[in-house]
Structure 1
């Protein structure tokens, strides 16, 4: 009290900052304050301690910090390295991004708190990206892991980002059966991605950690015979009939016409079978010379002019 009120009358902001630093140091045992941290003061107000300490570092680096102030902060265990200030600021941006996206698997173009957090995260994931000092690198890795344990996944970052988008949708109440092709999140067709992950061959090719994360969400692989989507037929009547059924029972009834159908279009039959209808139609048109008269008649009945022309030519 003597220091604050009599011996060293200081600027109000400095006194408030020093009081907040003392309180934080007494409570935590250190002064490694996150950049965005605000310290709650006895008067009920909060003080932006993290930002204030970053400003003291900048003043110290520029030679504008009074010796007595520097000594007061030294006594509290102040970390003066400007790289630490930059680290804390970027870490704050990472926290802000995670709060919004639910993951640190950010695209390199991502920003938060006016910081290029996506590029920064890409840099720290690289070998040596946390610094050359092993102790500092371990501490920084722990800070990132506290935000997101999967901040540096053992699989592609793109996969982790899409998985996180699916997890976020499910946390909001969406069921696996509702995340179908065409459902997007952050511009990503998460429905198509999820469908692909569940295919037996793809599932078996995932890392154990990837499968564990999907399973924890209640996502399971399809059986081999449930592969989806179904490939266009290569001569078997079953595939041809499924294609016709998708075209007749659903697409035509819904759209009122037979096309044009985009090559990427998929139809789901009542039994749950999914058909790449666009691919089916493109393939049957290409191999129309090899189709039977009955198959051409079935396609012509659906309104496909090229099938009618093939029948006439025959």
Structure 2
């Protein structure tokens, strides 16, 4: 019995095992010039034949950082600082969002360092900005991540640039507007709110910009809050009720009251109270009769309206509108 001769494989034709590559190659990625991106380079590399491609492990996080850093460097070259607003862009790159995220990462790294210094445990370092990346941003602008709001630091920098150009310090709103910031209005806010600034901010404004705090005579009168207006309207309504015995105030009636500063003020009480409401529990018939005698009208029952103790209770709603008062 003859056996069929088996064809012996050619040793030269054997598939050579592919050399295993390290997942991370120690290859330096050069810093890009402003406006230059890595996406075109990666696209051109993908179009090359496989045996000619550069065997480089691209990290999407590193690529995103390099692109954002290049855009931030270009934006700072145009504007003279790295205190970009949130909607700032440079050649399509969202510089404002990139810097916002970088500041959040820098603050997290600072919090971790403070906890280590105090001997407290650090839960995680994920999302914290590395020292190398922080130094890269500080090389562009040392004040890129202030301890106070970025808007305040941006206006401070613009006023300093304005003074360095030989111009006078703007003191009125609308005098000087740079990069969308009203420098005169900012100077006024600094002078009027001097006590609200930190010691470092006060030193910067006084020593660098020559801004002095406003005196009590220069400060405008504080605006009345909604709580203050409500308190004065309540006093006017109370005074009218004690005199007339009801709150059916004519629409054009003006009530004069004396405030805590001993100044008489006029209140258009009829216009100030377009609608009054009362909520009374159904069992409280005495309060219902009192409300009806005062001119209130029952509008309906609100089921499970108000929390009283550990349960919710029904409430009658009574109302008096200005049209019914004349």
Structure in which a larger fraction of residues adopt strand? 2
TM-score normalized by structure 1?
Answer: 0.48
TM-score normalized by structure 2?
Answer: 0.46
The structure number with the bigger radius of gyration is 2
